[in-house]
Amino acid sequence: MNEADSRDIAASFGRRGYTLTDDLKKADAVVVNTCTVRQRAEDKAISQIGRLRKWKLARPDGKLFIVGCAAQKLGGKDLKRRFPFVDEVTGARDIEYFEDALAAQLGPAPETGYPDSALFRSPQSSYVTIMRGCSHKCSYCIVPAVRGPAVFLPPEEILQDARLKLAAGAKEIVLLGQTVNAYRHGKTTFSELLKKVLGLPGLARLRFMSPHPLYFDESFTAVLAGNPKLARYLHLPVQSGSDRILKAMRRGYTRTQYLDLLAKLRAAVPELAVSTDFIVGYPGETEEDFADTLALIKEGRFSMAFCFKYSPRSDRPEMASHLDEPAMEARLEKLLAAVKKNSRLVLNERIGKIEEVLFETENYGRTSGNFGCRVKAGGAPGALSKALIEGADKNVLNGKVI
Ligand code: 5AD
Ligand code: SF4
């Protein structure tokens, strides 16, 4: 979400004639988009802001904006007291009003539309936010507190954003939100929204991130099965393989229910690739619970997983992990190794198959299942071509355009 917000913020600057730079010395404005999902992210954001003191001293005319979840959590007043050189603080809840904050500092935008495909997430792929916030209460998660309850954007607004990005050269759209498949606006459900976006001219592929296991229904399965433009890929966070821990996390499903859902979706779309998120070291996680998580990797046939060490986001003593840092690290390493091993197996299953590749360069693109794919020749940026998969190395497929 923060990455998508950053890109939209960059677009707001772009409409005022700004371009992106990695070189602080050249920057006329700096935006720090902060995250607080884990403590480390918040600490990094704070030290980054501290380091910008020097830039602001050298560039008193430069504008410094602090946005995002940590800004929301810590509060504008506190941040400005600690870092008086900051010009503007916009918390995650108010990010849709960033344009107003920018107008206050720099004046209104003379341009409309999407300024530059260089701001996409990849050369041909752009995020489109469809909801903000989250109405779940997962015990470990700070998102609902900093981003507020789920708010779904009107379908017309979403379609307009997608149209602008397609007009600017996007071939792929990634619909984004904390629980995207819970989408509902008036009579428009998630499945209906997917159909509307799938109907936009110029779209080669549609992705979404992240769904929640609780909100898939029959109509989604039908849309997935019936629309090859909808990526054969889900990033479906499971968090743990232990029922005891899932319950303590208030995830709302059991291990069996999660696996049954995957089985149902794969029965409709056998080539579906699935990746996930895991948290290790949740308070009370025993060796047995952790073993359940390890075993789930193979059962879920995950192509990839983001693995996180539990980071307490509340001061309540029962929310502290009983694991010390070395024990936490040991579990994380075991988990990462198991994920890597399984990814290899899942990748190798694609050898001999024909995959549709959306090319980013002449030699590299992504398959519908979100695997990277290299070809020697025949690719063209933005083109969707079929490739025969001949091999795999590390985490990338090798194919031949056919
Ligand atoms: N500690 C560790 N990981 C967390 N996540 C969310 N909150 C925490 C936390 N307190 C992870 C979850 C989520 C991903 C975006 O971040 O796995 O799916
Ligand atoms: Fe956090 Fe996702 Fe749970 Fe919402 S559904 S509380 S964003 S982990």
What is the predicted pLDDT for the residue at 101?
A: 87
Closest ligand by atom to 211 CA:
2
Share of the chain above pLDDT 90, in %: 94
| Averaged pLDDT for residues 70-86 | 95
What is the predicted pLDDT for the residue at 243?
A: 98
Per-residue pLDDT tens over the stretch 297-337 = 999 999 999 999 999 999 999 999 999 999 999 999 999 99
* CA distance linking residue 35 with residue 15, whole number of Å: 25
Per-residue pLDDT tens over the stretch 262-308 = 999 999 999 999 999 999 999 999 999 999 999 999 999 999 999 99
Give the pLDDT band of residue 105 (cuts 50, 70, 90).
confident
Closest ligand by atom to 236 CA:
1
pLDDT higher than 90, residue 111: no
Share of the chain above pLDDT 70, in %: 100
- 178 Cβ closer than 6 Å to some ligand 2 atom: yes
CA–centroid distance, 255 to ligand 2, in Å, is: 17
* CA distance linking residue 68 with residue 37, whole number of Å: 11
pLDDT higher than 90, residue 112: no
What is the predicted pLDDT for the residue at 215?
A: 98
Residue type at 40 in one-letter notation: R
| Averaged pLDDT for residues 192-202 | 98
* CA distance linking residue 46 with residue 390, whole number of Å: 47
Per-residue pLDDT tens over the stretch 166-190 = 999 999 999 999 999 999 999 999 9
CA–centroid distance, 251 to ligand 2, in Å, is: 8
Mutation choice for ligand 2 from 37, 176, 178, 212, CB with most ligand atoms inside 8 A:
178
- Cα 116 from chain centroid? 21
- 308 Cβ closer than 6 Å to some ligand 1 atom: yes
What is the predicted pLDDT for the residue at 146?
A: 93
- 275 Cβ closer than 6 Å to some ligand 1 atom: no
User: Residue with the nearest Cα to atom 3 of ligand 2?
Assistant: 138
Average pLDDT, the chain: 96
Task: Enter the tokens of residue 396.
Answer: 């990338």
Residue type at 78 in one-letter notation: D
CA–centroid distance, 135 to ligand 2, in Å, is: 8
pLDDT higher than 90, residue 96: no
| Averaged pLDDT for residues 356-362 | 96
| Averaged pLDDT for residues 219-247 | 98
User: Residue with the nearest Cα to atom 1 of ligand 2?
Assistant: 141
Question: Which residues, 6 or more positions from 263, have their beta carbon under 8 angstroms from its beta carbon?
Answer: none
- 134 Cβ closer than 6 Å to some ligand 2 atom: yes
User: Residue with the nearest Cα to atom 5 of ligand 2?
Assistant: 136
Per-residue pLDDT tens over the stretch 126-164 = 999 999 999 999 999 999 999 999 999 999 999 999 999
CA–centroid distance, 315 to ligand 1, in Å, is: 17
What is the predicted pLDDT for the residue at 257?
A: 98
- 183 Cβ closer than 6 Å to some ligand 1 atom: no
Per-residue pLDDT tens over the stretch 341-357 = 999 999 999 999 999 99
Residues 277/238, Cβ–Cβ less than 8 Å: yes
| Averaged pLDDT for residues 252-264 | 98
Buried b (16+ CB within 10 A) or exposed e, 83-109: beebbbbbbbbbbeebbebbeeebeeb
Give the pLDDT band of residue 391 (cuts 50, 70, 90).
very high
Mutation choice for ligand 2 from 37, 69, 72, 134, CB with most ligand atoms inside 8 A:
134
- 147 Cβ closer than 6 Å to some ligand 1 atom: no
- 328 Cβ closer than 6 Å to some ligand 1 atom: no
> Residue 66 to residues 15, 376, 381: CA-CA distances in angstroms?
20, 44, 35
